[in-house]
Structure 1
């Protein structure tokens, strides 16, 4: 069950990373050629706040930790870990999508950097089999 869950998490993770990298490259190519930059300092400011705060919240606060009552059965513990990991990954993906949409609509250079940072933050939560085992057995 643990190997199957780990393989599912790796498949979901790498497919999300590949899709986000492709979307980033295509969005950068599109905005550099077809979109005229629009000055919008308010959106830029909120984009920075949302990106940095969201990355911190996703990596620190949404780290998949299980409570003692969740660890009674290995199967339920693995399911709860799987769900918590997907919530963390979807939070990071939503931040990346937000930055890509803002980049596409405004073509402001800072959203390109913020999108790159948010996609790079995905590499900080690669599913690891030993961390899953440690979380379930502790």
Structure 2
């Protein structure tokens, strides 16, 4: 598979269940992949386990169960994958409680794992969400 196909499969797995979301993050980020999931105060994570810890925090705070991703644009150049997408965060009742427009940049290593990933989105609407 190409880097673009790997990233597309990663995004698709987010909507199948929280456990599969976590499996995909661990596989794609390995032990060294850096993920900057959004603007401060969201911390940078290193490796799949730290990323899953961040996702578990979102689950605990917002009842996050899955993320449905609408990929608007996906491109690749020299091992760098660029994405424009809408991330629909879904709670345990199946309700989409927020939809975030996101632009992302991922650099994949020679093994197909993410070495560096940065997501850009506006946090204002997210900060107004009530916590669970």
TM over 0.5: no
Higher helix share: 1
Name the TM-score class by shorter chain: under 0.3
Question: What TM-score do you get using the length of structure 1 for normalisation?
Answer: 0.24
Higher strand share: 2
